[in-house]
């Protein structure tokens, strides 16, 4: 049985299927909209590439990108701190420097880094919330892009400037661009959590709407079958 997080649950709901139709009743629970695509594209070799993104609880961010076509795997974990503090108990104290994050392995010939950022800002989280997402607060829930290359850093910086200049959110984006020094895989009970536990009230209220919005706003990129982390 996974460890219970100390959260305030606003609404509890039960789902018995992970099909898009099952997500549909929750689609209005999150005010999401499709943002314009980034004007700057990454210069990168064709093939497999990785992106590390943080946007609140890694359950939901992982759940979203597990349903994106072109993505090969999504691992929940920690980034921003040291190896010896990369455990859930330590990160939860909010003093480790880590953020709950996901490592996305994707085929750059099927989907590019810029499009992943478009999804990240459109449906995976709210980039105007400082050190929090929904009921979760603390620096471990910060909005952060961990750039693996200089090209990724340039694309992310340009996109944040683009969105801020357009005034789309009405508030400034607080997402930080941080260098990726290392990514540490989270404990096994955190992997595939949204897929395995759709009946969990936290997942039903906070995360299933994000996946529903992915299917609604990016239908051509939505995959019904989630990419499951093994091991």
Residues 1 and 122: their CA atoms lie apart, in Å, by: 32
Residues 153 and 147: their CA atoms lie apart, in Å, by: 5
Q: Give me the torsion for CA of 186, 135, 180, 190, rounded to 10°.
A: 10
Structure tokens at 110: 């099927």
Q: Which residue out of 27, 54, 57, 75 is catalytically annotated?
A: 57
Known catalytic residue at 70: no
Name the DSSP class of 135. Answer: T
SS (H, E, C) 54-94: EECCHHHHHHHHCCECCEEEEEEEEECCCHHHCCHHHHCCC
Distances (CA, A) of 90 to 24, 53, 164: 36, 20, 34
Which residues pair with residue 97 across a beta bridge?
A: none
Q: Which residues are catalytic?
A: 57
């Amino acid at each position: 049985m996974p460890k219970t997080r100390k959260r305030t649950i606003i609404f509890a709901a039960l789902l018995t299927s992970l099909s898009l139709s099952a997500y549909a009743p929750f689609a209005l629970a999150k005010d999401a909209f499709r943002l314009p695509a980034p004007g700057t594209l990454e210069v990168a070799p064709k093939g497999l590439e990785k992106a590390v993104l943080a946007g609140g609880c890694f359950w939901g961010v992982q759940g979203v990108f597990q349903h994106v076509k072109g993505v090969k795997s999504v691992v929940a974990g920690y980034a921003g701190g040291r190896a010896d503090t990369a455990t859930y108990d330590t990160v939860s104290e909010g003093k480790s420097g880590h953020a709950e994050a996901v490592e996305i392995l994707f085929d750059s010939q099927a989907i590019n880094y810029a499009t992943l950022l478009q999804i990240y800002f459109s449906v995976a989280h709210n980039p105007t919330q400082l050190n929090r997402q929904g009921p979760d607060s603390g620096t471990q829930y910060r909005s952060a892009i961990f750039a693996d290359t200089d090209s990724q850093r340039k694309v992310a910086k340009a996109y944040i400037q683009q969105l801020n200049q357009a005034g789309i959110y009405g508030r400034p984006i607080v997402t930080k661009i941080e260098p990726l020094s290392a990514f540490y895989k989270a404990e096994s009970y955190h992997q595939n959590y949204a897929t395995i536990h759709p009946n969990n009230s936290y997942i039903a209220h906070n995360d299933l709407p994000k996946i529903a919005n992915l299917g609604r706003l990016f239908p051509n990129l939505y995959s019904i079958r989630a990419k499951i982390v093994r091991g």
